[in-house]
Chain A
Amino acid sequence: MSISREDIEKVAVLARIKVDDEQVSALEKDLGNILDLVDQLGAADTDSVEPMAHPLDAVQKLRADEVTETNQREAFQAIAPATEDGLYLVPKVIE
């Protein structure tokens, strides 16, 4: 199955990855090949098969709603690209 340039550009926006025209051309070929590879899945008869999310069919465990972590804001923000007064800085989002 092929994938169109428009599809790639749309998916790139969803994935928040900037792609230029040249990259879109390369991706058209590579993603097309990968989708060809996975298209054989369609031929499998899976009518009565339950999808498998965990190999041991384990269910999500829940812990008690208790505070177990201590505040480590300084340690965590020490590795951030930009912070100020204990806040993470990002480009302005509200005019």
Chain B
Amino acid sequence: MHNKSVAELSRELESGNVSSVELAQQFLDRVKREDEKYNSFITVSEEQALAEAKAADEMRAAGKATPWTGVPFAHKDIFCTNGVRTTCGSKMLENFVPPYDATVTANFRAAGAVCLGKTNMDEFAMGSSSESSYYGATTNPWGLGAGDKRVPGGSSGGSAAAVAARLVPAATGTDTGGSIRQPAALCGITGLKPTYGRVSRYGMIAFASSLDQGGPMARTAEDAALMMNVMAGHDPKDSTCIDRAVPDYTATLNEPLKGLKIGLPKEYFSDQLSPAMEEQVRNAIREYEKLGATVKEVSLPNAKLAIAAYYVIAPAEASANLSRFDGVRYGYRCEDPKDLMDMYTRTRAEGFGSEVKRRILVGTYALSHGYYDAYYLQAQKVRRLIQQDFLNAFKDVDVLMSPVTPSPAFAQGEKTTDPVAMYLEDVFTIAINLAGIPAMSVPAGFVDGLPVGLQIIGDHFSEARLLNAAHQFQQVTDWHQREPK
């Protein structure tokens, strides 16, 4: 069962070949047996999962089943889950049990899906390797056979590793600068960052509010479409969420790609990209040409400024968002504070890890008196220039294609001492968040036995078209079916 997709498991449940409780138990046993190697889960919520599975079986017996009823999955530990600890990878929230559900959590709950637990991540989603988690680093299932311990990418590295290792068929992720797409690429799975505002952020612990977006991580584009059907939609509890009709994302998966116009941004095929990676990405694009697509070069002249703009905007917003962790209402509080200031400063010094503190300090600096115009305002202007480049490109082409990362999964420890080297990991993904447009990572080959991701970028609200393009590619390739040894 563990190799089956969400769509396949859904059919098994529908036909009565297996019950939700049996399925949940099988996957829970597998997590308990296998996850020692990966550390992809922070919390396994066995008791709640079995209760949800029992309820799912009852839901089906009552004739109220949805495609998700009884299907096991996991949430990134950034989505609040009522009654199940939610840590965001931080010591600050080690004992935090939310008294409410995130909207995404509530949506999966209403559909009858069975959440097995909460997946590991970079602390507060700040990182590209899942090494900054207070609960220990996650290991990429790929490369382990060769004795290598590779990073799974980040920040949604636990979700990516769990899906790649067949511990769950699907998991939620969040993407602020590449945190769904980069781990999906490095673990050889399929991930989608939706348009900003497509998925509610309510109850999704905030990092950079104008960039954060939740999305699906699964092995197939079809499963990602099934997740989007549950995740997307307007939510009055998130004032930035867009009120716009949600299509059935599975309905257009089989549209032919003949005539699809693909743009290749020349800035994303630069010398930062290793030749072996480029070869894999170009091969994937040739598959699209065989499916009837046409290809032309386009330019995103301001893309080179994306990392700089991001590392002003994201830390600035983070410094404001993370001010809520004050040791008063929930979360960690230091021992024996001597006064209020001592409580705040020691609680935050002890509760946050070093990367989170770095970003809060950079953001505080960028917003402080005398620097606001030079940094924050200028970054927001550059952000508009970057978005304009994409919108101009979409006047000519339907989608853009590029690599997701400059190189495959790197070794654990390789970039932990150099924050800027870690930041450059997101060089091909970050501009998409600044522009607020959707993009996918699709398995597209291997370099040195490690997965390579193809990035498919679309205009605002083009998720259905991206999923269609990914699904058609997955009908003629089997990269997404490969299993780590």
Which residue in chain B gives the minimum CB-CB distance to A75?
A: B99
Total A-B pairs, Cβ < 8 A: 168
Contact mask A28-65 → B, CB, 8 Å, 1/0? 00110111011111101010011111111010110100
Residues B385 and A44 in contact, CB atoms below 8 Å apart: yes
Q: How far is the CA of A79 from the CA of B100 in the complex (A)?
A: 12
Asked whether any CB of chain A lies closer than 8 Å to the CB of B462, the reply is no
Task: Write out the residue numbers on chain B whose beta carbons fall within 8 Å of the beta carbon of A39.
Answer: 308
Residues B305 and A15 in contact, CB atoms below 8 Å apart: no
Task: Write out the residue numbers on chain A whose beta carbons fall within 8 Å of the beta carbon of B387.
Answer: 52, 55
Residues A91 and B339 in contact, CB atoms below 8 Å apart: yes
Given contacts A15-B360, A15-B361, A41-B305, contact A53 B349 (CB under 8 A): no
Residues B378 and A14 in contact, CB atoms below 8 Å apart: no
**Residues of B in contact, count (CB < 8 Å):** 71
Residues B311 and A38 in contact, CB atoms below 8 Å apart: yes
Q: Which of B346, B362, B368 contacts A31 (CB 8 A)?
A: B362
Q: Which of A7, A54, A72, A92 contacts B99 (CB 8 A)?
A: A72
Q: Which of A14, A60, A80 contacts B368 (CB 8 A)?
A: A14
Q: How far is the CA of A63 from the CA of B236 in the complex (A)?
A: 8
Residues B357 and A41 in contact, CB atoms below 8 Å apart: no
Residues A31 and B358 in contact, CB atoms below 8 Å apart: yes
Task: Write out the residue numbers on chain A whose beta carbons fall within 8 Å of the beta carbon of B377.
Answer: 51
Asked whether any CB of chain A lies closer than 8 Å to the CB of B384, the reply is yes
Task: Write out the residue numbers on chain B whose beta carbons fall within 8 Å of the beta carbon of A11.
Answer: 361, 364-365, 368
Chain A's interface size range is 35 or more
At the interface with chain A, which of B44-52, B262-270, B323-331, B404-412? B323-331
Residues B312 and A91 in contact, CB atoms below 8 Å apart: no
Task: Write out the residue numbers on chain B whose beta carbons fall within 8 Å of the beta carbon of A27.
Answer: 358, 361
Asked whether any CB of chain A lies closer than 8 Å to the CB of B196, the reply is yes
Residues A56 and B329 in contact, CB atoms below 8 Å apart: no
Residues B302 and A44 in contact, CB atoms below 8 Å apart: yes
Residues A93 and B361 in contact, CB atoms below 8 Å apart: no
Name B residues whose Cβ lies closer than 8 Å to a Cβ of A: 95-97, 99, 195-197, 210, 236, 239-240, 242, 302, 305, 307-309, 311-312, 319, 323, 326-333, 337-346, 348-349, 352, 357-358, 360-362, 364-366, 368, 374-375, 377-385, 387, 419-420, 423, 434-437, 460
A-B contact pairs, 18 of them (CB 8 A): A11-B365, A14-B364, A16-B345, A17-B352, A19-B349, A31-B365, A37-B307, A38-B312, A41-B382, A44-B381, A52-B387, A55-B434, A55-B460, A56-B197, A58-B197, A72-B99, A81-B331, A91-B339
Interface pairs A-B: 10 shortest CB-CB? A55-B436, A51-B380, A46-B381, A81-B333, A18-B345, A18-B349, A52-B384, A16-B344, A75-B99, A49-B381
